[in-house]
Structure 1
């Protein structure tokens, strides 16, 4: 299996239905992006990257001439470099135990924090990252270890996100303005491949993550010289039931991922993962208010739809620079937590009931999804009592969506 994906996910991953993504970095200090655009949907005039709704891309967007982010940065911060935000990021209210309790209250199975995003800042003292990590600057501490301990104490699994394909701290490429620029302006040399490999190997050895989540592929040299295969083999030895996502540009993945409206063709079968934020950004964007954030009801619908189609939802939270989860996000999470945790026992052992034996019919205007969980047929709807169900051999469980 060295360097190749699994034929079957481990049991915990097959049973899982909800993960929590955490995007937290220096970008939480400016916490700004245009919030109107959803990734993968109709592009705004001027293109996605010029008008990106991802606040975690702030270091790129402010370098695009004529972008609203560049104008905002000039107005608020003048000519201050992005690295100033690393020093201003203090994480003074960071309480990983409180985060973990919140995530557990939602019925989350696993938690995946960003350990290095495209800005190159590592949230631990990664090998070779001196002067560009949260131990040397800003928060002045390892932000990952305490979270790993807190997450596991609440009975959830701990994973890691790592941006293997982009690192703006070690390159002097122009900003990414169009999709092709992502592949044109990314480091692929042997030195960067060794740097990234050392980071991920350190994450594996220190934190034993159950999920290894890479982004924007892997440097080409690392694919060609065999070091990526060696890295994945090491991971499988250290964490035998760990799982690997599909964003390496190589055949090392265990499951497919989609993001907002991108990659929907990958949402097939059982075990895929859909990831998105509560708003249109992953990192905290202080512009996003309640009108731009999923309501408890909308989140319940989204989660139910993913579960009914055999997937897992990797739902992102974006803490502010102090480490607090913003009130607009807490409103949604607290508002749906009781409902999602009550649904949790019915999301395991999912399968598709036989089409010949099971029929589910809901009248127009009665939003409805269903799936099999063992010998139970789970029906979630606006008015579940009004859904007509024929399910021989299944106990029918009817659950109403939250108001």
Structure 2
């Protein structure tokens, strides 16, 4: 097993030290409503989880962890005695050690240029691949891993370098995900069966692991110059300082190397963040931040799950509604793609992204730089499905129907010129009569109709 380098104990930074890192959001991020997440790893070989529901909807923690819907948590779930994943791993994979899955992962059909082209066509502003998930396997030649990474085993290539180059070639912004909070290889705690275990009692907090994680992220910054650092779970407590190898120092180095960079909120509640992150139906408190992002998969898993089908997956229309809903409430949407082990994007995911792109071709421009609309002007509803945004000189209504038989909808916001309303694209027609705007939804719409209404 690889051993983290050691560091000396330092005192945790005081709140005023973290406060010195506060800064304005860069313009590009303020105007970036949509990003793509990528979860790809040795867990993509078995590609198996129970699709029991979205995170935040399964209330019993023991049930969630024992029947985990996240395929990328396979290494943890198969260690829980009596779990269906453990039984599946024994029956299908002979109970082999997890690292043998790394050697079975070949990525033989990996085409990063085609990935980036698909993401661009779907309307993405930024792309965030996973560099190291909780299983501890680096998707680049991570320092200190003693060859337990994809350059030396499995795919035998720098996957992050290939993705980063393709993303930048398409003019999108690069972010990088890193699991600083957990590493089941270098710090093999018992399997997690509770949220407290994940976020506190069974996560590494020691100086050696803090230095190990610091060295990784510093290397990622130096090699790939990301504009987003997306940490997960937490940061080892012993590293929450501004000394050598400390998180505060890491942030300073990141901002110096990437002046337009931002960091998320999963480094520890007492540290620093530029924006908050919710996940499916969980961590909703983050949506009260001035800047926030909601992340989720097309299905219930981030890593590819061969058990999922169309019944667990969002269509392009549904993705467009999710995106609009998030932006109308002041957030941005980070949608995950989980490639197969061979490097291909599953057909269901590709179709949903293509459908979303068809809507984004006309609709995205009205999400860029948008702000939530004052409720005194109009309020959102779910049936009919209506979301509102404010664009200064105009307001925009995004109108759809969850009940496909409902096609005629009336709008009556205040303080605007309803008679000047227009439709962007071909999702509906509008007429003005008697102080109301009559919207006729068209059956062939590819997502919510976009109704522009000028202010008085």
Match of 1:387 in 2: 411
Higher relative contact order (CA 8 A, sep 6+): 1
CA separation of 1:137 and 1:45: change in aligned 2, threshold 3 A: closer
Match of 1:308 in 2: 328
Q: Name which of 16, 33, 40 aligns with 1:17.
A: 33
- Taking the aligned partners of 2:60 and 2:421, their CA distance within structure 1 comes to 45
- Taking the aligned partners of 1:234 and 1:155, their CA distance within structure 2 comes to 24
For residue 172 of structure 1, report the CA deviation from its aligned partner. 2.8
Range 32-41 or range 216-225, more displaced: 216-225
SS in 2 for 1:167: coil
SS in 2 for 1:378: strand
- Taking the aligned partners of 2:340 and 2:27, their CA distance within structure 1 comes to 35
Q: Does 1:184 align with 2:233?
A: no
Match of 2:50 in 1: 34
Q: Name which of 232, 235, 238 aligns with 2:251.
A: 232
Please give the per-residue CA displacement for 1:59-112, whole angstroms capped at 9, x wherever unaligned. Answer: 000000010100111110122010011000001111111011111111111000
Q: Does 1:223 align with 2:240?
A: yes
Range 110-119 or range 374-383, more displaced: 374-383
SS in 1 for 2:63: coil
CA separation of 1:32 and 1:338: change in aligned 2, threshold 3 A: same
Q: Name which of 180, 194, 201 aligns with 2:218.
A: 201
CA separation of 1:359 and 1:60: change in aligned 2, threshold 3 A: closer
- Alpha-carbon contact 1:359-1:391 (below 8 Å) kept: no
Q: Does 1:326 align with 2:346?
A: yes
Q: Does 1:258 align with 2:278?
A: yes
CA separation of 1:266 and 1:45: change in aligned 2, threshold 3 A: closer
Q: Name which of 146, 154, 157 aligns with 1:130.
A: 146
Range 42-51 or range 288-297, more displaced: 42-51
SS in 1 for 2:288: coil
Query: Larger Rg: 1 or 2?
Result: 2
Match of 2:6 in 1: none
Q: Does 1:368 align with 2:392?
A: no
SS in 1 for 2:36: strand
CA separation of 1:177 and 1:359: change in aligned 2, threshold 3 A: closer
* Number of residue pairs aligned between Structure 1 and Structure 2: 401
- Taking the aligned partners of 2:191 and 2:409, their CA distance within structure 1 comes to 54
Q: Does 1:99 align with 2:115?
A: yes
- Alpha-carbon contact 2:179-2:232 (below 8 Å) kept: yes
Which aligned pairs between 1:140-179 and structure 2 lie closer than 5 A?
140-179=156-195
Structure 2, unmatched stretches of 5+, are: 1-15, 401-406, 428-444, 448-456
Normalising by structure 1, we get a TM-score of 0.94
Please give the per-residue CA displacement for 1:218-237, whole angstroms capped at 9, x wherever unaligned. Answer: 01110146411001000010
- Alpha-carbon contact 2:103-2:154 (below 8 Å) kept: yes
CA separation of 1:396 and 1:37: change in aligned 2, threshold 3 A: same
Match of 2:434 in 1: none
Structure 1, unmatched stretches of 5+, are: none
For residue 180 of structure 1, report the CA deviation from its aligned partner. 1.5
CA separation of 1:231 and 1:393: change in aligned 2, threshold 3 A: farther
CA separation of 1:269 and 1:388: change in aligned 2, threshold 3 A: farther
Q: Does 1:402 align with 2:418?
A: no
Range 334-343 or range 61-70, more displaced: 334-343
For residue 350 of structure 1, report the CA deviation from its aligned partner. 1.6
Range 240-249 or range 258-267, more displaced: 258-267
For residue 351 of structure 1, report the CA deviation from its aligned partner. 2.3
For residue 374 of structure 1, report the CA deviation from its aligned partner. 3.7
Q: Name which of 137, 142, 146 aligns with 1:121.
A: 137
- Alpha-carbon contact 2:275-2:290 (below 8 Å) kept: no
- Taking the aligned partners of 1:238 and 1:27, their CA distance within structure 2 comes to 32
RMSD: 2.1
- Taking the aligned partners of 1:45 and 1:10, their CA distance within structure 2 comes to 38
CA separation of 1:146 and 1:393: change in aligned 2, threshold 3 A: farther
SS in 2 for 1:359: coil
- Alpha-carbon contact 1:384-1:398 (below 8 Å) kept: no
Q: Does 1:267 align with 2:287?
A: yes
Normalising by structure 2, we get a TM-score of 0.84
For residue 270 of structure 1, report the CA deviation from its aligned partner. 4.6
Please give the per-residue CA displacement for 1:265-302, whole angstroms capped at 9, x wherever unaligned. Answer: 22136521000000000000000101111122211111
